[in-house]
Amino acid sequence: MSEVDQLIQENKELKAKLRDKEILFNHIVESTFSGYFDWNIKEKKEYWSPTLKKMFGYENHELYSSPITWQRLIYQEDLPIVFDQMDAHIKSRGKIPFDCKMRFHHKQGFRVWIFCQVKIVEWNELGRPTRIVGSLTDITDIKNIQETEAYVEQLESRNKELQQFAYVASHDLQEPLRTIISFTEHMSEEYKDRLDETAKTYLKYITGASHRMSELVKGLLDYTRIGKNFKIKKIDPNKILEAVLQDLHSLLENKNVKIEIEKLPKINGLETEIRSVFMNLISNAVKYSKKDVTPIIKIGAIKDVNVVKFFVEDNGIGIEKAYLKRIFLIFQRLHNKNEYEGTGIGLAHCQKIIELHGGKIWAESIPNLGSSFFFTIPA
């Protein structure tokens, strides 16, 4: 082989090696979700890797690699941050690193968060950069998670504030209410001979409304107290249910209610609170029963791998599909107080308790046939 042939052969081998390295490099870049650019200022040439263009939603041929392109795509508010950092990087001759997070407009219109690190690889004799390379990483997912976490934190703290407010308000409202109730009662008793019938009726309304308001305020106060003594332990829902049915004994007897209970599995939970859930659901099943039908309430549970799903089923008046979610909101009632007594707090109470346990509560119903309330407790 002549010397020239040997050189050609070596050149071929070198080119093949280079191509191989380039393929490897591109694979690595793609697998890290990064992109890079190489800006040769002296030769007025800029290269953007296809992976970089992809970050903004473009195919390689769709985007021209140039400083104007990224300045068009970047959020204009973030532009000064980039220039300031670049300035500091150049003035410190590369000692102050250039690494900044900035936002770009994706082709589809959404926001892309990019973490960019830049390095000046060539300088001229005047201390100006002549070649700059940079790597860019898409950090949108991380940023979105951080933003969601910050939002959740903000909501939690606002929630706590609101809870505190509701607690203080309902606590402080009780005192003047007690005074109103006690004086109207005194008045109806002591002035009963001097008041005419109209005044007596008005007084009766005032007493009724005050008692009702007192019930609402008490309900609100109880609601804010849920989970104050947060002591989760192994509890036996069968025993809890027994006690609840004992408490409701006369109501159940008066209404001739039939109760069918399956054996329930033990759970980890807050005893008083779970008791209150059963109390609310069973009382409602009785309250919203049909006038001339024997109320039948079925209570049971299905044990799954991760949760225990309880149900309380009745054959009562039922609930229209459109209201199945609304009934869990505080003070939301589907009937007025003359039809069915109540405060509209019971189910909100249940929801708060079940969510405190990390579970879910919902209702299914067929109007005029009955309703089933389900709740889950993590096993």
The verdict on 314 binding ligand ADP (CB under 6 A) reads yes
Site for ligand ADP contains 112 (CB under 6 A): no
For ligand ADP, the closer CB: 307 or 319: 319
Residues in contact with 19: Cβ distance below 8 Å, sequence separation at least 6, in sequence order: none
Asked if 295 is part of the footprint of ligand ADP (rule: CB under 6 A), the reply reads no
Task: Pick the stretch among 16-24, 259-267, 270-278, 331-339 that binds ligand ADP (CB under 6 A).
Answer: 331-339
Task: Give the CA angle between residues 152, 157, 158 to the nearest 5°.
Answer: 95
- Letters for 167-186 (x = contact with ligand ADP by CB under 6 A, - = none) are --------------------
Q: Is 334 in the site for ligand ADP (CB under 6 A)?
A: yes
Please report how close the Cβ of residue 266 comes to ligand ADP at its closest, in angstroms: 26
Find the binder of ligand ADP among 85, 135, 343, 376 (CB under 6 A). 343
- In the complex, what is the shortest distance from the CB of residue 110 to ligand ADP, in angstroms, rounded to a whole number? 40
Work out the burial of residue 59: count CB atoms within 10 Å of its CB; fewer than 13 is exposed, 13-18 middle, 19 or more buried. Answer: exposed
Report the residue from 129, 134, 295, 346 that binds ligand ADP according to the rule CB under 6 A. Answer: 346
Which two three-digit tokens encode residue 7?
């050189």
- Binding of ligand ADP at residue 288 (CB under 6 A)? yes
Confirm or reject binding of residue 371 to ligand ADP (CB under 6 A).
yes
Residue 185 vs 355, nearer CB to ligand ADP: 355
Q: Does residue 350 contact residue 375 with C-beta atoms inside 8 Å? A: yes
Closer by beta carbon to ligand ADP, 58 or else 375: 375
109 by DSSP, 3-state: which? coil
| Tokens found for residue 240 | 């809890």
Query: Is 316 one of the binding residues for ligand ADP (CB under 6 A)?
Result: yes
Give me the least distance between CB of 226 and ligand ADP, in Å please.
Answer: 14
Residues 6+ apart with CB under 8 A from 240: 271, 274, 275, 278
Instruction: Report in angstroms how near the CB of residue 118 gets to ligand ADP at its nearest.
Output: 60
Pairing status of strand 98-105 against strand 45-48: unpaired
Query: Does residue number 285 form part of the binding site for ligand ADP (CB under 6 A)?
Result: yes
Using an 8 Å Cβ cutoff, are 76 and 83 in contact?
A: no
The verdict on 244 binding ligand ADP (CB under 6 A) reads no
Which ranges of the chain does DSSP label H, i.e. alpha helix?
Answer: 3-31, 50-55, 67-73, 79-91, 140-190, 197-225, 237-247, 249-254, 271-287, 346-356
Number of residues in contact with ligand ADP, rule: CB under 6 A? 21
Single out the residue of 279, 342, 352, 359 in contact with ligand ADP (rule: CB under 6 A). Answer: 342
Strand order in the sheet with 361-366: 258-261, 296-303, 307-313, 370-378, 361-366
Q: State the nearest-atom distance from the C-beta of 291 to ligand ADP, in Å.
A: 13
Contact call for residue 319 and ligand ADP (CB under 6 A): yes
Contacts of the segment 67-73: beta carbons below 8 A, 24+ positions apart: 67/39, 70/104, 73/104, 73/105
Q: Which two tokens stand for residue 17?
A: 């090696």
Closest CA to 225 of 354, 353, 42, 363: 353
The span from the CA of 247 to the CA of 227, in Å, is: 22
- 315 in contact with ligand ADP (CB under 6 A): no
Closest CB to ligand ADP among residues 52, 345: 345
Query: How near is the Cβ of 212 to ligand ADP at its closest, in Å?
Result: 11
The one-character DSSP state at 19 is H
Residue of the chain from 270, 327, 354, 377 that contacts ligand ADP (CB under 6 A): 327
347 contributes a contact to ligand ADP by CB under 6 A: yes
Q: How far apart are CA 332 and CA 214, in angstroms?
A: 17
According to the binding rule CB under 6 A, does residue 35 interact with ligand ADP? no
Contacts with ligand ADP by CB under 6 A lie at 280, 284-285, 288, 314, 316-319, 327, 333-335, 342-348, 371
